[in-house]
Structure 1
Amino acid sequence: MMRQVVRRSHQRWPWLRWAAIGVLGMGMVSLPGIAQFPPTTPIFEQVTLSPGRDFRDDPIVLEGVSGGSIPARQVAGRLDTPTGACLGFVERAPDYVLTLTDFFDYLSLRISSPEDTTLVVRGPGGSWCNDDYAGSKNPGLVGQWLAGTYEIWVGSYRDRAYHPYQIQLSQIH
């Protein structure tokens, strides 16, 4: 089975890109404005999917780097969700923005990384967190998904610890 892999050039320290933008913009923006990033501007990319037709190659694979300095609970707006506790540290901006054009009767979003990672997803209906899905050290969310826009953060347990990861999106049960 062939997998679609979306590769992004990413830095070892993803926050460095934002710091450079802030330094370049200092003459145009006040210092408090530099720290405030638009919540829907992803670090890696925006992805739009429709049930069936966008899954010729299943799973769809996205790559990134986990971690940051913002507590995941702060991004999620809560300590705990029905899918798990909001643990770890993430960047202020989401790693990915996922737009689902229609209702998904089943969609799995699973993280694969050599290190222990955490997950925050914010979208229609609220926020969901997870850190260990199906007995693995990596997170995942599986089930029905409403149409709409979802912000996805992949975190690390330690502040400013960065690890490579893959997001696998699948419609196969």
Structure 2
Amino acid sequence: MRWLHSKILLAFAVALSAAPAFSQSANFGKLTLSPGFPATAGQASGNTGGTYSLSSIANSDRNNKPCIGYGSENPDHIMVLQSKFSKLSVEVNSGKDTTLVIRGPNNLILCGDDTKTSKGVSKDASVEASNLPPGEYRMWVGAMKEGQRWNYSLTVRQ
């Protein structure tokens, strides 16, 4: 009986270690936001890097935008929306070619790549979304090629 118990515990430990990226903690912390949040509450920073294909989280988002790039298996940031948001934008600023994948409640997927700006197109990623339900959103900031490591700032705006 003791042998069976130890085998069950071992199998459970192996299953936990193989848990998908969605269940792991964030590399660079958590943003907790309520409507009307101050600008500083929507700011974070981190760095890209990794060999995990972000398309393995999802091939495309709810708007059929492709989810691309490479990053860490762990999400880079966790954003908790304490209530519904009618509109939010999430922008990456690195001066490099970045991507963005966001996985929210009920398997809501948002993906971003190049951003249109008043001066043309930036290679940095962004996502604009509306009607976001409250809950936890896991965010991965990626690079176009495996292992590219760039510092970035992340800004969430209403």
Same fold (TM over 0.5): yes
Which sections of structure 2, spanning at least 5 residues, go unmatched?
1-11
Paired with 2:54 and 2:68, the residues of 1 have a C-alpha distance of 6
Residue aligning to 2:122: 136
Tell me whether 1:120 sits opposite 2:107 in the alignment.
no
In structure 2, what is the equivalent of residue 47 of structure 1?
31
Taking a change above 3 Å as real, the CA distance of residues 83 and 141 of structure 1, as seen in their structure-2 partners, is: farther
Q: What SS does structure 2 have at the residue aligned with 1:42?
A: coil
Match in the other structure for 2:148: 161
Code of the residue aligned with 1:71 in structure 2: it is S
How far residue 111 of structure 1 moved from its aligned partner, in angstroms, is 0.7
For structure 1, list consecutive stretches of 5 or more residues without a partner in the other structure.
1-28
Q: Give identity over the alignment, percent.
A: 29
Higher Cα Rg, which structure: 2
Alpha-carbon distance in structure 2 between the residues aligned to 1:75 and 1:67: 16
For residues 130-165 of structure 1, give each alpha carbon's deviation from its aligned partner in whole angstroms, at most 9, with x where no partner exists: 111212211111132221110000001111111111
Structure 1 stretches of 4+ moved >3 Å: 29-38
Report the secondary structure of 2:115's partner residue.
Answer: coil
Aligned length: 139
Q: Given the alignment of the two structures, is residue 107 of structure 1 paired with residue 91 of structure 2, yes or no?
A: no
- Name the one with the larger helix percent: 2
Q: Aligned partners of 1:66 and 1:83: how far apart in 2? A: 24
Q: What RMSD in Å do the two structures reach over aligned CA positions?
A: 2.3
Q: Any residues of structure 2 matched to 1:85-100 within 5 Å, and which? A: 85-100=66-81
Retained in 2: the 8 A contact 1:60–1:170? yes
2:60 alignment partner in structure 1: 80
TM-score, with length taken from structure 2? 0.77
